[in-house]
Amino acid sequence: MSTDTQPTTSRRTLRIALASSAALSALLLTAGCSMIQDIVPNKTPQKHFATYSDAPRSGESKDMAFFMPEWVPEDAKDIDVRLNASAPGYVIGFASKEGVDTDSCTPLDESYGGSAMQADFLPEDLPTTGLVTCGDGRAVAEIGDRWYGWTTKDAIPGQDDSSTLRTDG
């Protein structure tokens, strides 16, 4: 009799394992891609906000990665943000009639190696002159009818790098 219960126990264990696996798969599919993206290392998340008021702001949101930098004007729209969660890199692009108050920013007299990362909305040929930084370690420029800010390959001296997600010592 004990030989008959062993195969039954094995089959039951197999059925439980298969059911658990199916349930986990269903949960992942139901939860959507965001849950899967959260467990994938070296991801480069990207978000789009129609207007400034749709985007999180520092102090108002737990979403520290995507809050609007202080220099982004309140009339900003068509906002794209991309970041690298495991290395230095943050890129933002937006349209604005008001524009960035560059008088509150510091001119960059030299190039800091271009963007630390790429984004599909970032122009291929970033300018190397006429750039400013607005205190958060990013280069900022108006290119065409849009404004862009990006973490540079080389850190900008004297800037608050905490806002750029710069993790290289």
- Whether the CB-CB separation of 149 and 140 falls below 8 Å is answered with yes
Structure-token pair, residue 150: 């990006």
Per-residue confidence (pLDDT) for residue 16, from 0 to 100: 53
pTM beyond 0.75: no
β-strand 77-83 against 46-51: which pairing, if any?
antiparallel
Q: How confident is the model at residue 59 (pLDDT cuts 50, 70, 90)?
A: low
Per-residue confidence (pLDDT) for residue 160, from 0 to 100: 58
Q: What is the mean pLDDT of residues 143-168?
A: 75
- In the predicted structure, residue 19 carries a pLDDT above the cut 80: no
- In the predicted structure, residue 81 carries a pLDDT above the cut 90: yes
Per-residue confidence (pLDDT) for residue 162, from 0 to 100: 52
- In the predicted structure, residue 149 carries a pLDDT above the cut 80: yes
What average pLDDT does the chain have? Answer: 76
Long-range contacts of 124-132 (CB under 8 A, 24+ apart): 126/150, 131/107, 132/100, 132/102, 132/105, 132/106, 132/107, 132/108
% residues pLDDT > 90 (the chain): 42
Per-residue confidence (pLDDT) for residue 66, from 0 to 100: 79
